[in-house]
């Protein structure tokens, strides 16, 4: 049950971030719906294809489609109340990667994959919906820029497996790992923490 709740919350958060990007680009209603959909499902779809889960997750449970549609409607209705779109987009995007990192890891565990592969799946689940969104909206994906993104997912995944080695309840380990991803990315952006720039290193 906790897993399903986390998955649905992640889909809603990413759908809203997709709506905000699409509206900034002044897309029509159909464009907004498509961007919201691929943002919410892109990473999970790639993950399921990689591990051979077919049909992919959103085809098996209509709750995902209803969640995305509901998130799109809410975001459109209240977009005028979102005074700082960039900050709002960043917040929902960050919440989304925290939630989806653990969803991907859980899928890897269900497939009986090794922890490092589970962390890779978690990072793919969390990151690639945003990658597809940015490409469709003619932006350089955040994951390929200096801003901490995938690194936060990896840190959260590693933290989860370390916590799993302790007596802590698995539900608490889930929640703590999600918070680590969210907090680490928030702090990284606030204090301008970034990976080294390869071009500066060469100079």
Residues 3-50 have pLDDT tens digits of 788 888 889 989 988 998 898 899 999 999 999 999 999 999 999 999
pLDDT in tens, 75-129: 888 877 765 666 777 888 889 999 999 999 999 999 999 999 999 999 999 999 9
- C-alpha–C-alpha distance, residues 139 and 134, integer Å: 5
Name 147's bridge partners: 194
pLDDT at 199: 62
Is residue 111 helix, strand or coil?
coil
Distance CA 150, CA 37 (A): 21
Number of domains in the chain: 1
| Residue 19, CA atoms < 13 Å, CB-side half-sphere | 24
> ∠ at Cα 114 (109, 118), nearest 5°?
55
pLDDT grade for 2, boundaries at 50, 70 and 90: confident
With a cut of 60, say whether residue 203 has pLDDT above it.
Answer: no
- Provide the whole-model pTM: 0.88
pLDDT surpasses 70 at 57: yes
Q: Domain limits at 48?
A: 2-202
DSSP alpha helix (H) spans, 111-137? 115-136
Q: Which two tokens stand for residue 4?
A: 């399903």
């Amino acid at each position: 049950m906790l897993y399903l709740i986390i998955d649905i919350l992640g889909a809603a958060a990413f759908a809203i971030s997709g709506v905000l990007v699409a509206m900034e680009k002044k897309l029509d209603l159909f464009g907004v719906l498509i961007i919201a959909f691929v943002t919410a499902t892109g990473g999970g779809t790639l993950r399921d294809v990689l591990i051979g889960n077919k049909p992919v997750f959103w085809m098996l449970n209509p709750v995902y489609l209803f969640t995305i549609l509901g998130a799109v409607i809410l975001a459109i209705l209240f977009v005028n109340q979102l005074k700082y779109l960039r900050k709002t987009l960043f917040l929902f995007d960050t919440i989304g990667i925290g939630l989806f990192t653990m969803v991907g890891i859980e899928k890897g565990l269900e497939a009986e994959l090794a922890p490092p592969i589970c962390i890779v799946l978690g990072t793919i689940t969390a990151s690639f919906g945003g990658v597809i969104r940015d490409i469709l909206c003619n932006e350089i994906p955040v994951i390929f820029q200096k801003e901490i993104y995938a690194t936060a997912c990896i840190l959260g995944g590693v933290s989860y497996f370390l916590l799993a080695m302790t007596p802590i309840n698995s539900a608490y380990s889930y929640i703590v790992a999600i918070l680590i991803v969210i907090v680490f990315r928030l702090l990284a952006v606030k204090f301008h923490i970034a990976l080294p720039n390869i071009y500066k290193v060469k100079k």
